[in-house]
Structure 1
Amino acid sequence: MQEIIVIGGGVVGLTSAWWLLEAGHKVTLLERAPQVGTGTSFSNGGQLSYRYVSPLADVGVPLKALQWMFQEYGPLRFKPQFDLHQWTWLAAFLANCRADANRKTTNKLLELGELSRQAMVQLEPVVPPESFQWRESGKLVVYRTRKAFEAAASKPDSSPTRQVWNAAECVAHEPALAAAEDKLEGGIYNSGEAVADCYAFCVALAERIAAHPRFTGFVHGDALRLLTSGDRITGVETSSGPVKGDAYVLAAGMQSRALARTAGISLPIYPLKGYSLTAPIRPSDVAPEISVTDFERKVLYARIGGKLRVAAMVDMMGEDLSLDARRLASLTRQVRETMPDAADYNSVTPWAGLRPATPNSAPIIGHSPYKNLWLNIGHGPLGFTFACGTASLLADLVQDKTPPFTLEGLTLR
């Protein structure tokens, strides 16, 4: 049994803590905010997309990115900065914009997605699905251009859950899309995908963690520096005092990069700022029952309980969490145009979060250059989807167990 310090109280840190507790370790969880789950986990898209994984790095993306930046509804905005990390990350990202690299990453993420789905099922007796508004909604990806739709429909996929629908069939299955029917070419539907409230999941899991007999407590304070001696971490200097254990897990989202740097570790993650809108659903509204992704505009729609969650956009502007009124106005216009009667858009709650992304869109799990420091970082926009899977992998690695599949492409190396 080890005493392990997990750094980060978002969905990735909390799931890491739970799986390590269940593996027989003592765990202390360090979180800088007064409440868990209030960072990037707080108001994300809410989709659990185990089969629909689409790495951002792909053939043609650099050209598309240039086009997006000049579009009114463009999903990407880029602000060049005097930041070496921004440019080295971009160079690595561009190196991954190849068909072979995308295919390799996609296959690995599909393996991780299936493991994550199974791991979430294992949690049901501990964290009941109704406690975080989990619902198996299925997922429909709709396409506005013939070229994109035909390319997606022609991709080989042996999944029995996959269905290809024309525009009329999309609306027949999801009436919330009626106003956009004449702008759609078609869609691809997968059953088995789900939606849920990530923040509610974090709160419910934190309660179970707090009651675990091997849990040694929450420490709320800023992690300032990793303390080192030779090839080992000896503690974490925090605003609440030093925190020490036998081993350490870095699962603090974008904060992980600055903290790792204090120990001489360079982590290849960059903040992709995303926005979300949350609007109440009235009895007269026609809100989507299926989780919908607008492929070209990169907008996600998910009905979570009595609210509609809309998430979109990628801003590459460093660690800026401000709410840009123009971006929010653009997103609101898109939503009103696509699903005008889905919710009360006059009562919207806006939000922005920093998604810690790697150049190839795959998370980093496992060993670090220090013998007793473990990594669970870089989940990008799929933190909620992959959290349970990467936590179970991490626990296997800490226990020196062989993971269920090779981790090539999912490690720091």
Structure 2
Amino acid sequence: MNIVVVGAGIIGLTTAYYLRRDGHQVTVLERNNSVGQETSYANGAQLSYNFVTPLAEPSVLTKLPFWLTDKNAPLHFKVRPDMNQWRWGLKFLSLCRTHVTQKYTLSLLKLALESRELYHELMSKELLDCDFSSKGKLLIYSNEESLSAAARQLQFQVTHGGDKYQQLSREECLQLEPALISSQQTVFGGLFMSKEDSADSYKFCQEMYLRLKNDVHFMFNTDVKKLNASAGKITSLQTSAGELQFDAYVVANGVGAQSLLQRHQANPLVYPLKGYSLTYTLSQESEAPLCSVSDIANKVVYARLGNRLRVAGMVDVGDASKDLNNHRINLLKKQVSSFFPNLRASADPVCWAGLRPARPSSSPLIKQGSLSNLWLNIGHGSLGFTLSTGSAKLLADRIAGRQTQFSDREF
């Protein structure tokens, strides 16, 4: 088939890869002038296959007043006169139940572990230069209560196919990651998963483009304005480059999917959750972590990318701009200085803000849309990088009519 993929971020590019591998003629449309320019540009860089618990979980209900009132909260919710935000928020709150959280956790875990196998296969076959590293992930907890709760969650996942983990004392955490010795924050203990990866998602996008550009047609600076439909199917795309026709249409353009699809009375409930990152270039004197580290108390993640350190954190609900919020950036910098006071970077960090395309359940839509030749690969939230290969392969399988390990009710 002649298939178009809307979006050239991490999801769109991996989707194009697996569709082209199936022998389809593939075109990718991207509104920017190159690949990976939006959410994929400077994300947290962690491929966290075992850390997929949805944001909507029971403890959220007690935290909500804090999120609404404290501008220093890791997740800050600003209420807007926006019907999309209200629909998203109400649905989100309705999902904050234990059995619902567990259901989505297990589906996401299964997809993430599939994604890991595909990432390793892809890295071996394509030899992508994207600072890919398999040194594991260490989660740091500031008290016994939070550590025990997290260990129970991971044990639940182990019984359903998740990886085994190590529970570490403070001393064992410092031995595993000496950069933490000088930390000014409380290190009570930690959990270590040895099979977690990290990589630079923007470099990954650039490398994928180099592998695809001779077999896939890319149209940059091309904004998709409307899906033209008739008799239950898409007949064409209305774009800034004119009207374009294909056999099948894949929407994989992150937060842009909401307005594109809503015109057809199909509400995917994709809402932008703003996040921030800092990228430090390290010096010879830097005391920086070698494995991925997560500061659970402040919800900040650290990922080593060669001679750089990517730091990411914050969730701002109700701010759909890509502008840097100086207060949030400065707060993130202070947390870095406290967690790794001897980082000694060679220069000030490069600051970035991006919009995560999130659904209330944290579970993406990877399926046929409301029209017969429309397919969706959207709504991955903070898990886009982690789930991209598994999502793309699943969508390619469904387009081809192949059996998969996922039921139609999953994704």
For the aligned pair, the TM-score class normalised by the smaller chain equals over 0.9
Match of 2:214 in 1: 211
Question: Take 2:264 and 2:67, find their aligned partners in 1: how far apart are those partners?
Answer: 38
TM-score (norm 2): 0.95
- 1:73 CA displacement: 3.9
Say yes or no: does 1:275 pair with 2:276.
yes
Amino acid at match of 2:292: S
Verify the 8 A CA contact 1:168 1:181 in the aligned structure 2.
no
1:285-364 aligned at under 5 Å gives the runs 285-344=286-345, 346-364=347-365
- CA 1:162 to 1:297, structure 2 compared with 1: closer, same or farther past 3 Å? same
Secondary structure class of the residue paired with 1:180: coil
- The aligned runs of 1:166-181 (5 Å cut-off) are 166-180=169-183
> Are residue 154 (structure 1) and residue 152 (structure 2) matched?
yes
Please state whether the residue corresponding to 2:65 is helix, strand or coil: helix
Matching residue of 1:201: 204
Asked if the contact 1:285–1:342 (Cα under 8 Å) also holds between the matched residues in 2, the reply is yes
How far apart are residue 70 of structure 1 and its match? Answer: 4.5
Q: Give the CA deviation at 1:405.
A: 2.4
Aligned length: 406
Match for residue 76 of structure 1?
Answer: 75
In the aligned structure 2, how far is the partner of 1:336 from the partner of 1:120?
33
Deviating runs (4+, > 6 A) in structure 1? none
Letter matched to residue 172 of structure 1: Q
For residues 160 and 50 of structure 1, what CA distance do their matches in structure 2 show?
Answer: 9
Against the structure 1 CA distance between its residues 33 and 72, is the aligned structure 2 distance closer, same or farther, given a 3 Å change threshold?
closer
TM norm structure 1: 0.95
Whichever residue aligns with residue 203 of structure 2, its letter is A
Q: Are 2:9 and 2:36, in contact at CA under 8 Å, matched by a contact in 1?
A: yes
Give the AA of the match of 1:199. Y
Structure 1, unaligned stretches of length 5 or more?
Answer: none
Matched residues in 2 for 1:328 and 1:316: separation? 16
Alpha-carbon offset, residue 122 of structure 1: 2.3
User: Which residue does 1:41 correspond to in 2?
Assistant: 40
> What pairs up with 1:75-224 in 2 under 5 angstroms?
75-129=74-128, 131-155=129-153, 156=155, 157=158, 161-180=164-183, 183-212=186-215, 215-224=216-225
2:183 aligned counterpart, secondary structure: helix
Kindly report which structure 2 residues correspond to 1:367-378, keeping only aligned pairs within 5 A, or say none: 367-378=368-379
1:27 corresponds in structure 2 to 26
**What secondary structure is seen at the aligned counterpart in 2 of 1:4?**
strand
Counterpart AA for 1:384: F
| CA distance, structure 2, for counterparts of residue 203 and residue 136 of structure 1 | 20
How far apart, in 2, do the equivalents of 1:72 and 1:225 lie?
37
User: Cα offset for 1:148?
Assistant: 0.7
Shifted more, 393-402 versus 182-191: the winner is: 182-191
Counterpart Cα distance in 2 of 1:367 and 1:202: 25
Counterpart residue number, 1:58: 57
- C-alpha distance in 1, partners of 2:163/2:373? 43
Per-residue deviation, 1:125 = 4.3
Alignment correspondent of 1:11: 10
Partner SS, residue 296 of structure 1 = coil
Secondary structure of the corresponding residue to residue 359 of structure 1: coil
User: Secondary structure, in 3 states, of the residue corresponding to 2:116?
Assistant: helix
Q: 1:125 to 1:139 in 2, by over 3 A?
A: closer
**TM-superposed deviation, 1:119:** 1.2
Aligned alpha-carbon RMSD (Å): 1.6
For the pair 1:240 / 2:241, whether they are aligned, the reply is: yes
Structure 1 184/35 Cα, relative in aligned 2: closer, same or farther at 3 Å? same
Q: 1:160 to 1:243 in 2, by over 3 A?
A: closer
Deviation string for 1:288-347 (max 9, x for gaps)? 011011112110001111111000000012421110000101110011001112242751
Q: Residue 39 of structure 1: SS of its match in structure 2?
A: coil
Name the stretch that deviates more: 308-317 or 169-178.
Answer: 169-178
Q: C-alpha separation between the residues in 2 aligned to 1:276 and 1:69?
A: 22
User: Deviations for 1:346-384, whole angstroms, at most 9, x for unmatched residues?
Assistant: 511100000011111111101111000000000001111
**Structure 1 residues 211 and 351, CA, compared in 2 at 3 Å: closer, same or farther?**
same
CA distance in 2: counterparts of 1:254 and 1:19, whole angstroms: 22
Stretches of structure 2 lacking an aligned partner (at least 5 in a row): none
User: Which whole-Å CA distance do the structure 2 matches of 1:340 and 1:71 have between them?
Assistant: 25
Whether the 8 Å CA contact 1:171–1:181 is kept in 2: the answer is: no
Amino acid at match of 2:284: P
Aligned mates of 1:332, 1:102 — CA distance in 2: 32
Structure 1 residues 285 and 407, CA, compared in 2 at 3 Å: closer, same or farther?
Answer: farther
Distance between the aligned counterparts of 1:105 and 1:175, measured in 2? Answer: 35
Contact 1:308–1:342 under 8 Å retained in 2: no
